[in-house]
């Protein structure tokens, strides 16, 4: 408890002299006396932190949340952060190094205990803990993140430079991950790296990083600047381990690893409940770099959500361009293999990019995409997604993330996204897509050479699960039909547009005829008729747009979703191939080993190396098998969802289509009836 006292005293020391220049305090508007408020906050914090210290084991949500809120309040304003800066720096000068040493030791002990007892994550986590130098520095990042949620300060150069230091821990983790699952390592890596970024100086050697800051990366970036003061970090470390662990348990389900975790999610109350709107499309840039920027306004309705920065009932507005939407799509695809990610709208040819209709259409699709993503809890809590919604410095951050995760999201080939509308010849396109779906696994399997490509053919034939070949066929068929459907609707649409033009001509001609004033009656009659034609034209125009927006939009969206599904299938078959290849190799090696062992005199080192290889292969194989099984499970689940949503979406759009058609017919009837009545045509 020494350090408790210490910290308390430090707080007192620090706070009292530094809160004198009350400009900072003034900003904390919540309470009457700025100074008092500051003090209050501080004291509460202290108490709580102390409490937390004492009761390491019983991590209790409420307490945590409460604490968080308390902490949030003073940090809502930048000044306050600066304020803390000051305090910390002063702290640094006053009572520095010996403190840290002590703290570290104590911390470490407690921490390891805690982790060992609390972590139920699986062997790898504890392994990590044990093998790595268990230092509480990771905690720093987590804590720091917390404190600086709303900081607009961006990751600075120092932070970026820091990332170079990440290499060593990364290596360490990579070792782990190799025994881990394939889909995951990437993800894991990303997290680790990101957390390192956040941890900055101190987190270099900290393998706990990944555990500590799964969901808080976005905040971490901002933290990096602040945490430049070492003392502060140490200070935070000293009091924070508990949260770190809590965090850990909360963020871990983000990995779509097992069903248990997913089920666990439902019970959790810190999930993001996002309310997202996309609006204000604006053209920016000069001629060469012109593009449209959309403003995304996000509100988190769940006050308990931890992974989302900012207070509830407060809109966070960021601006993103279309490219960024694609980026997040691919990033999510890479982060969550097996999930069908709601896709962004198709790319548009250069011409007509700034067409008003097109932009509106795209805006709608983008909004729908984001909302769909946020409706899937796994995705809505994804760190990348949150970053996408909130980050102020998206370009750098996204680049960094992409690099770290190795997803290559920005350069990823996304033909299927664009295929949807550039269908062209139906037959040819469909066969092409079919053949590509057949050929892609071969190509992807080709990573390990010619042999594997041969194998891949055989794997293609031996689809282990009837369900998937079935589904694949179904999806292909559905895609083809929907494309046809879409084509037909498009044709109808263009034809209608032609007709609208002709109707306009007719109305004009009639109007001119009316202007000739052949006789009073004729003039009246004809001008009324011209008006009717004009209204009919508008009616047709409206219904046409409506159809395009309901049926056309839905079909197009589903074509893109089918693209996502296909991608998921491909990912799965890739994994299967790898699994298959390794399995084959394993069989080969083990038979070799058998032969060797059966030999009377086998060279020991050879046997050893072979057994080693076999072991390794076994590990790999089982890893791939696991990931394959899990992805298969996920896909099945997703497919079921897809079916369900498909029915609902299509039913709804068809219903809207019918209802709007009915309304337009009624309007047309009404127009003609009124014309008939007004012009007294009955008496003619």
Report how far residue 433's alpha carbon sits from residue 114's, in angstroms, rounded to the nearest whole number.
53
For the CB of residue 437, give the shortest distance to another protein in the complex, in Å. 17
Work out whether 545 is an interface residue with another protein (CB under 8 A): no
Question: Exactly one of 516, 595, 606, 609 binds another protein (CB under 8 A); which one?
Answer: 516
Work out whether 116 is an interface residue with another protein (CB under 8 A): no
Work out whether 8 is an interface residue with another protein (CB under 8 A): no
What do you get for the CA distance between the two ends of the chain, in Å? 104
Of residues 111, 100, 119, the one with CA closest to residue 136: 111
Question: Exactly one of 502, 587, 615, 629 binds another protein (CB under 8 A); which one?
Answer: 502
For the CB of residue 508, give the shortest distance to another protein in the complex, in Å. 8
Of the candidate spans 79-87, 130-138, 181-189, 671-679, the one that interacts with another protein by CB under 8 A turns out to be: 671-679
In the complex with another protein, the residue whose CB is nearer, 408 or 424, is: 424
Work out whether 360 is an interface residue with another protein (CB under 8 A): no
DSSP label at residue 135: -
Report how far residue 196's alpha carbon sits from residue 374's, in angstroms, rounded to the nearest whole number.
27
CB 198 within 8 A of CB 224: yes
User: Which residues between 461 and 480 bind another protein (CB under 8 A)?
Assistant: 474, 477-478
Whole-angstrom CA distances from 354 to 284, 350, 548 are 11, 9, 19
Question: Exactly one of 145, 240, 525, 593 binds another protein (CB under 8 A); which one?
Answer: 525
Size of the site for another protein (CB under 8 A): 60
For the CB of residue 308, give the shortest distance to another protein in the complex, in Å. 26
For the CB of residue 683, give the shortest distance to another protein in the complex, in Å. 9
Report how far residue 621's alpha carbon sits from residue 582's, in angstroms, rounded to the nearest whole number.
6
Beta strand residue intervals within 195-285, DSSP E: 274-284
Of the candidate spans 278-286, 375-383, 412-420, 640-648, the one that interacts with another protein by CB under 8 A turns out to be: 640-648
State which H helix or E strand residue 596 sits in. Answer: helix 553-598
Work out whether 561 is an interface residue with another protein (CB under 8 A): no
For the CB of residue 672, give the shortest distance to another protein in the complex, in Å. 5
Tokens encoding 416: 């299927």
For the CB of residue 677, give the shortest distance to another protein in the complex, in Å. 6
Work out whether 428 is an interface residue with another protein (CB under 8 A): no
Report how far residue 312's alpha carbon sits from residue 152's, in angstroms, rounded to the nearest whole number.
17
CB burial of residue 298 (10 Å; 0-12, 13-18, 19+): buried
In which order are the strands placed within the sheet that holds 291-300?
A: 274-284, 291-300, 316-321
Strand partners, 274: 300
Tokens encoding 32: 């009457």
Work out whether 677 is an interface residue with another protein (CB under 8 A): yes
Beta strand residue intervals within 420-542, DSSP E: none
Question: Exactly one of 129, 370, 482, 559 binds another protein (CB under 8 A); which one?
Answer: 482
Of the candidate spans 258-266, 272-280, 416-424, 646-654, the one that interacts with another protein by CB under 8 A turns out to be: 646-654
Work out whether 610 is an interface residue with another protein (CB under 8 A): no
Report how far residue 662's alpha carbon sits from residue 507's, in angstroms, rounded to the nearest whole number.
24
Question: Exactly one of 332, 366, 510, 534 binds another protein (CB under 8 A); which one?
Answer: 510
Tokens encoding 58: 């019983």
266-279: b (≥16 Cβ within 10 Å) or e: eebebbbbbebbbe
In the complex with another protein, the residue whose CB is nearer, 293 or 528, is: 528
In the complex with another protein, the residue whose CB is nearer, 159 or 503, is: 503
For the CB of residue 496, give the shortest distance to another protein in the complex, in Å. 6
Question: Exactly one of 491, 588, 597, 615 binds another protein (CB under 8 A); which one?
Answer: 491
- Please tell me the total number of residues recorded for the chain in this structure: 684
Question: What is the binding site for another protein (CB under 8 A)?
Answer: 474, 477-478, 481-482, 484-485, 487-489, 491-492, 495-496, 498-499, 502-503, 505-506, 509-510, 512-513, 516-519, 521-522, 525-526, 529, 643, 647-648, 650-652, 654-656, 658-659, 661-662, 665-666, 668-670, 672-673, 675-677, 679, 681-682, 684
């Amino acid at each position: 408890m020494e350090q408790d006292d210490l910290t308390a005293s430090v707080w007192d020391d620090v706070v009292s002299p530094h809160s004198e220049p009350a400009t900072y305090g003034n900003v904390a508007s919540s309470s009457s006396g700025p100074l008092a408020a500051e003090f209050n906050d501080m004291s509460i914090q202290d108490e709580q932190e102390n409490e937390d210290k004492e009761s390491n084991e019983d991590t209790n949500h409420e307490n945590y949340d409460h604490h968080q809120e308390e902490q949030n309040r003073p940090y809502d304003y930048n000044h306050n952060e600066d304020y803390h800066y000051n305090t910390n720096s002063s702290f640094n000068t006053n009572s520095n190094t010996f403190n840290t040493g002590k703290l570290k030791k104590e911390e470490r002990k407690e921490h390891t205990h805690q982790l060992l007892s609390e972590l139920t994550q699986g062997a790898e986590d504890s392994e990590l803990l044990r093998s790595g130098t268990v230092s509480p520095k990771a905690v720093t990042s987590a804590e720091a993140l917390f404190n600086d949620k709303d900081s607009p300060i961006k990751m600075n150069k120092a932070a970026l430079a820091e990332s170079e230091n990440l290499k060593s821990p990364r290596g360490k983790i990579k070792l782990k991950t190799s025994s881990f699952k394939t889909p995951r390592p990437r993800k894991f890596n990303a997290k680790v790296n990101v957390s390192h970024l956040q941890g900055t100086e101190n987190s270099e050697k900290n393998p706990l990083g990944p555990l500590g800051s799964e969901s808080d990366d976005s905040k971490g970036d901002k933290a990096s600047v602040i945490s430049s003061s070492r003392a502060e970090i140490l200070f935070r470390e000293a009091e924070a381990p508990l949260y770190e662990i809590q965090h850990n348990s909360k963020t871990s389900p983000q990995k779509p690893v097992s069903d248990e975790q997913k089920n666990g999610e439902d019970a959790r109350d810190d999930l993001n409940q996002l309310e997202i709107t996309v609006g204000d499309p604006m053209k920016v840039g000069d001629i060469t770099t012109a593009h449209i920027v959309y403003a995304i306004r996000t509100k988190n309705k769940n006050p308990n959500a931890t992974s989302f920065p900012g207070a509830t009932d407060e809109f966070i507005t960021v601006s993103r361009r279309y490219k960024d939407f694609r980026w997040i799509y691919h990033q999510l695809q890479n982060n969550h293999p097996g999930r069908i990610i709601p896709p962004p709208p198709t790319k548009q040819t250069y011409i007509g990019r700034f067409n008003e209709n097109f932009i509106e259409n795209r805006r709608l699709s983008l909004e729908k995409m984001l909302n769909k993503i946020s409706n899937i809890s796994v995705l809505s809590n994804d760190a990348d997604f949150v970053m996408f919604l909130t980050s102020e410095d998206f370009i750098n951050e996204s680049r960094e993330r992409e690099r770290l995760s190795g997803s290559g999201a920005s350069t990823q080939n996304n033909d299927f996204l664009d295929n949807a509308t550039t269908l062209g010849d139906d037959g040819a396109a469909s066969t092409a897509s079919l053949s590509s779906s057949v050929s892609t696994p071969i190509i992807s399997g080709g990573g390990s050479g010619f042999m594997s490509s041969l194998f891949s053919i055989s794997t293609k034939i031996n689809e282990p699960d009837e369900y998937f070949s079935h589904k694949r066929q179904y999806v292909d068929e559905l895609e083809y039909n929907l494309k046809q459907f879409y084509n037909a609707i498009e044709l109808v649409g263009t034809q209608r547009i032609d007709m609208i033009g002709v109707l306009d001509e007719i109305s004009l001609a009639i109007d001119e005829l009316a202007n000739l004033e052949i006789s009073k009656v004729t003039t009246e009659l004809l001008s009324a008729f011209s008006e009717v034609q004009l209204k009919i034209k508008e009616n047709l125009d409206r219904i046409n747009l409506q159809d395009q927006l309901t049926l056309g939009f839905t079909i197009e969206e589903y074509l893109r979703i089918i693209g996502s599904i296909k991608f998921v299938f491909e990912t799965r078959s890739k994994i299967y191939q790898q699994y298959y290849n390794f399995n084959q190799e394993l069989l080969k090696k083990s038979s070799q080993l058998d032969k060797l062992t059966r030999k009377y005199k086998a060279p020991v080192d050879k046997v050893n190396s072979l057994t080693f290889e076999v072991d390794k292969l076994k590990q790999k194989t089982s890893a791939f098998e696991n990931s394959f099984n899990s992805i298969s499970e996920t896909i099945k689940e997703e497919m079921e969802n897809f079916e369900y949503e498909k029915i609902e979406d299509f039913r709804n759009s068809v219903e809207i289509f019918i209802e709007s058609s009915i309304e337009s017919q009624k309007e047309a009837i009404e127009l003609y009836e009124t014309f008939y009545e007004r012009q007294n045509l009955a008496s003619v």
